[in-house]
Amino acid sequence: MMLDKRMNYSCAYWHKAMTLEDAQEAKLELICRKMGLKPGMRVLDIGCGWGGFAKYAAEKFDVKVTGVTVSREQVEYARKDCQGLDVDIKLQDYRELNDEFERIISIGMFEHVGSKNFKTFMKVVHRCLVTNGLFLLHTIAGNSSVNSTDQWINKYIFPNSMLPSAKQITIAAEGLFVLEDWHSFGQYYDKTLMAWYQNFTENWDQIKDGYDERFYRMWAYYLLSCAGSFRARRNQLWQVVFSKQGIRGGYQDRA
């Protein structure tokens, strides 16, 4: 009732879209095109959420997707939603991954890794990515390097989360990857959050029996304050494309 039909809980791509549904589909298409997906490719989705990307990529690009998450609820939902497709959703910590993939993506999960694990995360991706593969990191970010998040957000919304800086991302990737492309579109998170807020408030009467007014105020504050932070450009949204050894002739953005 808050998200789109694919249950994408990450920034939509509003470049040419007018609705949340279209903007979220455009985001998934953007990632698939940036990765140059071809039929039969093995794709890893680290922090697969409710399986929105896995289902889209398998349906539209005929690839084999493995998604990992530490949420049992997400595993149950995604497995059911992706039934009949070449999609394998696993309840697994990303640090346990050892299989090889031609493409690796991570959408809105890096914010929950923590600064002490940034290098570990990149090493896992490097270990699992074939030599000529590509890796796309989609993450909220901040303008300064920090090791914690806003205390209210930490207590009520995203415990133990933190937003990486450009410096922290590049230091973590140094010695492992070649940076091929850096795309910033944090202005679209403002629109995404406002769309979620509209959905939440319009559907409140259908769900309010399971919550209370305190939750309503808390959730509204969360959505609106985050929208304000993106609108003020205090928060950023980046999609960064990496290769292991550099692409001969250069990376071509296929989006």
Whole-number percent of the chain with pLDDT over 70: 99
Q: Is the pLDDT assigned to residue 254 strictly greater than 70?
A: no
- Domain borders along the chain are 20-187+235-243
> Does the 20-187+235-243 domain belong in CATH 3.40.50.150?
yes
Torsion of CA 46, 53, 224, 199, to 10 degrees: -140
Integer CA distances (angstroms), 178 to 35, 69, 126, 135, 240, in order = 15, 26, 11, 10, 11
What is the reported pLDDT for 251?
A: 92
Mean pLDDT of 136-163: 95
The pLDDT tens digits of the residues spanning 189-219 come to 999 999 999 999 999 999 999 999 999 999 9
What single letter denotes the amino acid at residue 19?
T
Confidence at 155, pLDDT banded by 50, 70, 90 = very high
* Exposure b/e, 12-48, CB count within 10 A at least 16 = b: bbbeebeebbebbbbbbbbbbebbbbeeebbbbbbbb
Confidence at 144, pLDDT banded by 50, 70, 90 = very high
Q: Is the pLDDT assigned to residue 230 strictly greater than 90?
A: yes
Q: Is the pLDDT assigned to residue 255 strictly greater than 90?
A: no
Q: Is the sign of the CA dihedral 211, 216, 220, 222 positive or negative? A: negative
- Axis crossing angle, helix 187-202 with helix 20-34, rounded to the nearest 10: 140
Q: Is the pLDDT assigned to residue 25 strictly greater than 80?
A: yes
Q: Are 67 and 89 within 8 A, CB to CB?
A: yes
The average confidence (pLDDT) of the chain is 97
Q: Is the pLDDT assigned to residue 253 strictly greater than 80?
A: no
What is the reported pLDDT for 252?
A: 81
Reduced to 3 states (helix: H, G, I; strand: E, B; else coil), residue 106 is strand
Q: Identify the DSSP state of 71.
A: -
Q: Are 63 and 43 within 8 A, CB to CB?
A: yes
Cα(166)–Cα(162) distance, rounded to whole angstroms? 13
What is the reported pLDDT for 50?
A: 98
48 is catalytic: no
For strand 87-91 and strand 129-142, is the pairing parallel, antiparallel, or unpaired?
Answer: unpaired
